[in-house]
Structure formats: C-alpha cells, structure tokens
Amino acid sequence: MSYRLLTAVILTFLFFGCIQQSKKEKSFTSSLLQYDAEIDGLIKQMNLEEKVNMLHGNTMFSSAGVERLGIADMKYADGPFGIREELQPHSWAPLGWTNDSATFFPTGSALAATWSPEIAYKFGTGMAREARIRGKDMILGPAINIQRIPTGGRTYEYLSEDPYLSSRLSVGYSHGVQDNDAAVCLKHFALNNQENNRGTVDVIVDERTMREIYLPPFKAAVQEADAYGVMSAYNKVNGWWCAENDMLLNKILRDEWGFAGLVVSDWGGTHSTVESVEHGLNVEMPEGTYLGQALLDSVKAGAVSEDVINQRVLEILRVRKAIKPVPEDEANQIMTSQPAQQKIAYEVATKSIVLLKNDGILPIKTENKPVIAVIGDNAVRGMATGGIGAGVKTLYEVSPLEGLKSRIGDQAELIYAQGYVPVLLDYARIFGNKPQEEVDKEEREKAILNKKLNAEAVAVAKKAEMVLFIGGDNRAVETEANDRENIFLPSDQDGLIQKIAAVNPNIITVLVSGAPNDLNVVQPNSKALVLSWFNGSEGGNALADILVGNISPSGRLPFTLPKKLEDSPAYALDNYPRGQKKGDVFVGLVEETDSDITGENTGDNKNDPNKGYYSEDMLVGYRWFDTKQIPVMYPFGHGLTYSIFEYSALNTDQEEYGADDKITVSFNLKNSGSVAADEVPQVYIHRINPSVEWPFKELKAFSRTALNQGEAKTISLEIPVQSLRYWNEETHSWEDDLCDIELLVGASAGDIKLTKKVSLK
C-alpha cells in the first residue's frame, strides 16, 4: 500500500469510521440537485475531452463550458471586498479597461465589526450586482477562515476569531450574493489561518477543534445559505493538501453536509491528478497542470474512472444551471461601481467603526472653529490596493482627510502632516530576496526621513487645539502571502505619538488597520481611540461622520485586542510555526514534506515551518483569554457608543430544557443617554458542571439593536440546545453535554451585565 493510500485508510477509520455521526445532523438538501436529470442528458452528449476541459481554468479567472452544447464558461470574480479589475487571460497583469473600476467595500474584519447579518446580506447584494455588471458568475468570497493569530496576513480579509459570529455573517453574505444571481465561493477550505508558508504548512488539528472552531462558518453557509462554491485552501490538513483532501472535500463537505456545488482550487494550489479529482476537486485554477492533459491520460490509462469525471462535471453543471450566464452584449456596458453599491459601502463603513475609548473628547465639537492637526500617513492613504493578492481598482476612495474636509472643512481649520514614512509593498523583502546591506541602507534612510516627518508633525501639533492621529497598518503591512512579524504599529508610530503627546495632550487616535495592533503606548496617550479598518470607498466619509457625531459609533470588535502578542494562544504556546519562511505560492512552491497524521504535537517538529500544531485546541481568541484569565487590552465584542445603555430583567421562558428545546432569552435594553445609537447585546454560555472540557464561555446569540434616546426594548433571542453540543472524538458525532449552564448577557466578552442559570436535562 502506498504511503498516501495508507494515510487515507487510517484517516477514514480515525475520523469517519462511524457513519452514525450523521444521525443527529440536521438534514440539508441543496436546491442544486433539482437540475440533475437535465444535466444527465447533457453529460451523455459530451465526449471525454470536453468533460476534462471543464475541470481546469482556461484563463486566469474562467473555466470552460462546452460551446457546442450551449454551456457557457464559468467566470470567477476576485475577491471578497470588491470586484477585481479585468486581467490578461494568462497573467496577473491588468487589461487596462476604463470601465472596470469597482466599488471598494469594507474588508472582512470591518464587515464583521458590524455584527450584523443584515448588513452582510446587503454587502453580498452589492458585490453580486457589480459581479453581474461585469458578466461574472461566481464571487471568490466570502473569505471566512477563523482569525487564529493576530499577525495573520489576511486577518483584514477574514471575519472573526469566533465561529458563531463568522457563521452568521457568512450566511448573510452568501444569501445576499446568491439572491442576486451570482454564486459565492467560500474560501479557503480549510484551516488556512496563516500566510507564512501557506503553500507548504501542514495543519495538525484534532477533530473536535476542527469541528467546533474552524469548520462552522463553512458548514453554516453551505447548509443555511446553500452556498454553490467552495475554494480549497493552499495548506495541508492532517497530512493532505486541501485540494486533494478526501476527508474535507468528499466526506465532510459533500457526504456529511450535503454540499452539491463545485470546488475550485486556490490559484496554483493543486498538487495531483488522480487524488485531486477523486477526492473532490472540480476545477484546478488557473490552468490545467494536473486536471488537463494529465487527467485525460489518466482516464485513458484506466487510472481514473470516467464515472468520477462525470460526477465532477455534474457538480459544475449544477452551478452553471443555477447561475445564468450574463449575455456577452449585456456585460460591461456600464462602469462596475454604481451609486447604489457605493451607498451600501458607506452604510457598512458607518456601522463598522469601533470606538475603543472616549474620555469625552468625541464627538469633536466645532462651535469655536478649532484648529485640528491631522497627522499620519493613513489620513491620506488608499487601502483598496497596496498589498499582495486581490485588491480593488476602486472608482474612488474617500480618505479620512477628505472625509473630514467634506464634513467639517468649513467649521474647523485642518492642518495636515504625514508624520512618518509608511511601509510600502516590497516583494523582494517579503520573500527574503533582498540583500541585508540593502535592507539596512533603506532602514537608515527611512529613519532619517522619519525624524524629519516626526518633527514636522510635532510642529503642527503644537499649533492645534487637538490632534487627530490617523495611523495604523496599511495594505502593505497586512498582506496576503506574509504574516506580520509583530503587532506593533509600523514606522515607530508609538515614538511619534509620545512626541506629540509631549506638546499636545488632546489626541484622538484613529487606527486604520484590519487586524490587532499593540496599543500599550497609544492607549494611555490618546483621549479617544477609534478603530476604523480598511473601510472601503466611503471609509473617510463614514469616519468623519462618526468623529463629528453625525452618527454614533456602533462597531464591535470581531477579535480580541491582546495586551501583547505573546499573550495570544498560538504565541503563548509557541505553536505558530515561526521557523524560516520558505517562500510562497507566488514565488514557487518548495518541496513536499511527509507529514505526521496523528494530530499530536510530539515536540520534535516545533520549529518546522511546515507544521502547524493547533495545540491550543478550542482556546482560540477570547476562549483562551477567558479560560486562562489573561487580561486583555480590549475584549472581543467591545465597542462604545455616544450613548449609554442599561441592561435589565434577564429572563428565560423555562428553567429547564431538553436536548431538542430552544432557550428563549429575553432582557430589557434601554438607551438612557442623549443620542440615538445602536447597541449590540451579546449572549454567552458558561457551562457550570459539564462532563467534558469547554472554554470558559462561548458566544451563542447577539443582536444589533437601534434605539432612540430614552427608548427601551425587550430583546428576545433564541439559543437551540442543539447548538451547544460538542464533537465527540470517540464516536465521531455531535453529542449533548446536558448540564447546568449560565447565560451571560453583556456588551462584550469582558462586560457581562446580567446572568441567569438554567438546566439542560
């Protein structure tokens, strides 16, 4: 038996030996199955070449149909936060069209900060409309991997560290897209939680952690939104590349969850012919290295059965039937970005901005026409592009400074200073190809320039009544293919803030970042602290509206802001593989390595950059900080408003619940402040006397609620007891852990206002 076959057999027994696991699963039947009879007839008319031709990219962003039979090509649109410009058929170079500028929507973490499936639905609607204007069938998004490490290069693109929040938003986004005639492609399936060595790392994860933390957003979008597409990730999971991972693609996604659509590989993420096609991959992107001629030869040689090919073609054709192609003469007739979508981008942005701290300096008062020093490169920097991977050729992007000028340009004197030298995209440096002397020289020059810009900023700050420091990361700092080395603010922004604070204590800091930063210096030096994300075409307008009080802030953190990076789980346990970075899919893959499939971290390979031992298990994000009682800078779910909310009268409809019951939790929420605002009450569950181990608490319900000043509402939320089950690794099934639980209702994971005990029997 070959190593791979043996591995497959062992995995099958280890993880899926028990068919019984599906006995309690909620059954799901995809609407895509309705086309099968019709498609059967079509497949019978196709020859083998035509079929195989459908199983790989024919350009960078399309895969073939069969013209003779009236089957159109499948057209894919990158990526999750705006429709990518048109590229050359076989390279990443743009075609240079003049009408393919799209709306730049806020990126994933911004969307997640809205804590609103309804907003995610609108976001999906906007994305789908622009995809259709461009003649595209499938959007390569949403990107829904769990934010495992604060340094993750694509944290800004992903949603949250919490599977429940991520699930609600992926379902909203997917419905929004698919109700508007385009398909989603959930990515990256699965466990693509780091960018360094993403093309080589083998994620070693136990079954319970995988089921309870990393897979739920995918499962929810498949079963609740009937997602039509999935993109396999670059990495391996438990020894197998995701594009040929029988466990993930066949067993879990298709057999267990009932997914009936198509799986595309990530670009260049296919590694085999026979295994990929047999284990569930439909389309190799962007070309047919493995699922082209090699596949044709394999079928002819009898190594792959034509039945498998027919099945893979059927799955593609189901999506093709559900998504009608846009006729050539209707696509690209108008500019991609349209006002209706720009309005959605604005709405998402206004609801995403998180007010972390406010000692009363916000909203900015302009009665006395203040002089405001606006300092920081991010006050003027566009965030639609600037890193590796899909960006958006945006029709426009309102910067924070422009937003401020448009909202209060005539009520305040705004004086700008860049303040520091930004980090800009440097491929050679990211991929370690720049000689050290050159790096050192650049750093010396940068330090000199930084000093000059710092001095200018301090001079400007001296003249002003208040300072709006607009810093944070940017798209070159947080980028695909590269994790950050640390979470400190780049370009020594901490040093600059301290210099500014010495001459002007009235500092409002705005962080334009998509991921956590270390706030130890910024926090005490700022009277207000705002997180305003990579926030799309309308980001600057939305920010200005929040800062001047036209709208009360209402975003909530979708991740924990740790006090320091080393406190976060994968760093504290030293299980984020920090060995040498070995390149990326963009610069050619390194050689394959054999993998351990047991999921145990033997310790032998701790510094192997190609092994990711997820030994923190389920203790990801706040689950870790809470359980280990590690203080944080700002907790998951945190966000202030310009109002005050009172929580009272927590109640449940019963005191005891059975395994199939729903717990109805109700409580009163009152806006007792002086302005209208949205509050996001959150319900967490703490198990009092469980029979298995659990994180200290877990989010199980939330609700964004708009209340006028003085208004009160009874909030009622449902928690199915079934959603509290755990994955039993012995029986390979979801099991009840019926015990006493405490319902914790609060404004964040760190601000629980009401508690009530109930029993599960």
Catalytic residues: 266
Which H or E element spans position 358?
Answer: strand 354-358
- b/e map 124-147, b = 16+ CB within 10 Å: bbbbbbbbbbbbbbbbbbbbbbbb
Of 295 and 390, the one with the shorter C-beta distance to ligand BGC is 390
Site string for ligand BGC, 341-380 (x = CB under 6 A): ----------------------------------------
- The yes or no reply on residue 389 touching ligand BGC (CB under 6 A) is yes
Of 157 and 626, the one with the shorter C-beta distance to ligand BGC is 157
In the complex, least distance from residue 90 CB atom to ligand BGC, rounded to whole angstroms: 14
Round to whole Å and give the CA distance between 500 and 464. 11
Q: Which residue has tokens 């993420």?
A: 269
Cα distances (angstroms) measured from residue 602 to each of 10, 206, 595, 611: 19, 14, 12, 11
- The yes or no reply on residue 78 touching ligand BGC (CB under 6 A) is yes
Cα 388 → chain centroid = 16
Of 183 and 390, the one with the shorter C-beta distance to ligand BGC is 390
Of 198 and 623, the one with the shorter C-beta distance to ligand BGC is 198
Round to whole Å and give the CA distance between 74 and 538. 31
- Interface pick for ligand BGC out of 267, 533, 702, 726 (rule CB under 6 A): 267
- Tokens standing for 487? 């979470």
Of 79 and 639, the one with the shorter C-beta distance to ligand BGC is 79
Of the candidates 631, 713, 634, the one whose C-alpha atom is nearest the C-alpha of residue 667 is: 713
In the complex, least distance from residue 133 CB atom to ligand BGC, rounded to whole angstroms: 19
- Name beta bridge partners: 665: 652, 717
Compute how many residues bind ligand BGC; rule: CB under 6 A: 8
- The yes or no reply on residue 519 touching ligand BGC (CB under 6 A) is no
Of the candidates 582, 566, 575, the one whose C-alpha atom is nearest the C-alpha of residue 606 is: 575
In the complex, least distance from residue 87 CB atom to ligand BGC, rounded to whole angstroms: 9
Of 187 and 725, the one with the shorter C-beta distance to ligand BGC is 187
Q: Which residues contact 638 (CB under 8 A, 6 or more apart)?
A: 354, 356, 556, 557, 561, 747, 748, 749, 750, 751
In the complex, least distance from residue 388 CB atom to ligand BGC, rounded to whole angstroms: 8
- The yes or no reply on residue 229 touching ligand BGC (CB under 6 A) is no
10 phi/psi in degrees, rounded to 5: -60, -45
Note whether 732 and 17 are within 8 A (CB).
yes
Note whether 421 and 459 are within 8 A (CB).
no
Of 127 and 140, the one with the shorter C-beta distance to ligand BGC is 140
- The yes or no reply on residue 86 touching ligand BGC (CB under 6 A) is no
Q: Which residues contact 519 (CB under 8 A, 6 or more apart)?
A: 356, 529, 561, 633, 634
Round to whole Å and give the CA distance between 682 and 60. 43
Site string for ligand BGC, 161-200 (x = CB under 6 A): --------------------------x-------------
In the complex, least distance from residue 140 CB atom to ligand BGC, rounded to whole angstroms: 4
Chain positions 125 to 144 lying near ligand BGC, rule: CB under 6 A, are 140
SS (H, E, C) 120-151: HHHHHHHHHHHHHHCCCCEECCCECCCCCCCC
- Interface pick for ligand BGC out of 131, 146, 390, 460 (rule CB under 6 A): 390
Of 524 and 588, the one with the shorter C-beta distance to ligand BGC is 588
Identity at 442, one-letter amino acid code: E
Cα distances (angstroms) measured from residue 110 to each of 236, 334, 529, 641: 28, 28, 16, 17
Q: Which residue has tokens 């449902």?
A: 718
Round to whole Å and give the CA distance between 490 and 377. 11
Round to whole Å and give the CA distance between 503 and 523. 17
In the complex, least distance from residue 586 CB atom to ligand BGC, rounded to whole angstroms: 7
Identity at 191, one-letter amino acid code: L
For 146, left (φ over 0), alpha (ψ -120 to 50), or beta?
beta
279-282: list long-range contacts, CB under 8 Å, 24+ apart: 279/240, 279/244, 279/245, 279/246, 279/249, 279/250, 280/245, 280/246, 280/248, 280/249, 280/250, 280/253, 280/254, 281/232, 281/243, 281/244, 281/249, 281/312, 282/55, 282/312, 282/315, 282/316
Round to whole Å and give the CA distance between 127 and 427. 29
Of 391 and 403, the one with the shorter C-beta distance to ligand BGC is 391
Identity at 693, one-letter amino acid code: E
717 phi/psi in degrees, rounded to 5: -130, 145
Q: Which residue has tokens 């699930």?
A: 167
Note whether 420 and 435 are within 8 A (CB).
no
- Interface pick for ligand BGC out of 79, 82, 150, 288 (rule CB under 6 A): 79
Of the candidates 147, 218, 177, the one whose C-alpha atom is nearest the C-alpha of residue 77 is: 177
- Interface pick for ligand BGC out of 85, 246, 266, 402 (rule CB under 6 A): 266
Round to whole Å and give the CA distance between 88 and 96. 9
The three-point CA angle 151-169-385 to 5° equals 50
- Peptide bond before residue 217 is cis, with ω within 30 degrees of 0: no
Binding site for ligand BGC (CB under 6 A): 78-79, 140, 187, 266-267, 389-390
